[in-house]
Structures are given as C-alpha cells and as structure tokens.
Structure 1
Amino acid sequence: MKILLIDDERRLSDSIKEFLESQEYTVDQAFDFNDALMKASVYDYNCILLDLMLPGGNGLDILR
C-alpha cells in the first residue's frame, strides 16, 4: 500500500513514516500545501493522511 503523509510538523511526520514503513507500507511525505497538491495530483496513492492546517493553504482544498 502506498501512502501520502501530509503534515508540516517534520518530527511527527518522520515518526509516523518510520512506524508505517516498519509495517511494510510505502510512504511519501509532503510538508506544505503546494508539494502536497502536486504529489496528490501526479501520483496514485491508496491512502492520504492529511493535516488540515498547512503552510500555504488548507488541507481540505487538497481533499477536494
């Protein structure tokens, strides 16, 4: 399963990524609105873990 993890808190995001990878998931990260929007529109993910408050925009706009 390929997961996109979107969160501007890098330590928290890295911790979640490390755990998910230990469970054999593939995890990509995005730390701001523009990077998250680009990755969500270009790549095919099975799941997106999304922070709503992001630098540069609202996570709900990515969800749409």
Structure 2
Amino acid sequence: MKLLVIEDEQSLRENITDYLNADGNICESCGNLEDALRKLTDYHYDCVLLDIGLPDGDGFTVLEYLKAQGKMEAVLIISARNSLDDKLNGLNVGADDYLTKPFHWPN
C-alpha cells in the first residue's frame, strides 16, 4: 500500500511513517500544505493520513483538492481538533474517518 502522511509535528510524522514502513507499506510524508499538494499532484496514493492544522494552511484544502481533481485516495484525518463541527466538516468534504490526537499505536 502506498501512503502519504501529512503532519506538521516532525516526531509524530516520523513515528507514523516508520511504523507504516515497517509493516511493509510504501510511506511518504510531508509537513505542510504546499508539499502535500505537490505530492498529490505528482503521485497516486492508496491512503492519506491528514492533519488539518498545517503551518501554511488548512488540511481541509487537501480534501477539497482531492475532490476537485476526482482523485480516489482514502483519507484518514488525524487532528487535535476534536470539535463536532471539524469532524462533520472533514467527513462531509470527503474524509473517510476522523481520529483525534492523542492516540496510541498498538504494541
């Protein structure tokens, strides 16, 4: 499976990427909106793990871009934002699920 992790917190981004790569996936990552949109333009991914709080914009822009381009990547939002409005917005714009931080990896 080819995955893209879009997360601005470097240590979390590296931990997620390392975990997914160790499980046999091809996992790329980036830490801002600009790099995310460039990668999504140039490559196809099976799944995107998306933080909506990015330093140069809102992760919801990624969802809108995927929808506008007719791309079919599955999207899992991982965010510290846990308001009902954010969750509904993410799911309505096209995310497949919404996971709030902090969360725990299996051992």
Aligned to 1:36: 36
Counterparts of 1:21 and 1:28 in 2: how far apart (Å)? 9
Q: When the two structures are superposed, what TM-score results if normalisation uses the length of structure 1?
A: 0.95
Count of aligned residue pairs for this structure pair = 64
Gap regions ≥5 residues in structure 2: 65-107
Structure 1 unaligned blocks of 5 or more: none
Moved over 3 A (4+): none
How do residues 1-64 of structure 1 correspond to structure 2 at under 5 angstroms? Answer: 1-64=1-64
**Aligned CA-pair RMSD:** 0.6
Percent of paired sites with the same residue: 38
Take 1:52 and 1:5, find their aligned partners in 2: how far apart are those partners?
A: 12
Q: CA deviation at 1:8?
A: 0.3
Task: Supply the AA of the counterpart residue of 2:45.
Answer: Y
Report Cα offsets for 1:3-62 as digits up to 9, x if no partner.
Answer: 000000000010011110111000110111100111112100000000001011110111
- Greater helix fraction, Structure 1 or Structure 2: 1
Query: Which one scores higher on RCO, CA 8 angstroms, separation ≥ 6?
Result: 1
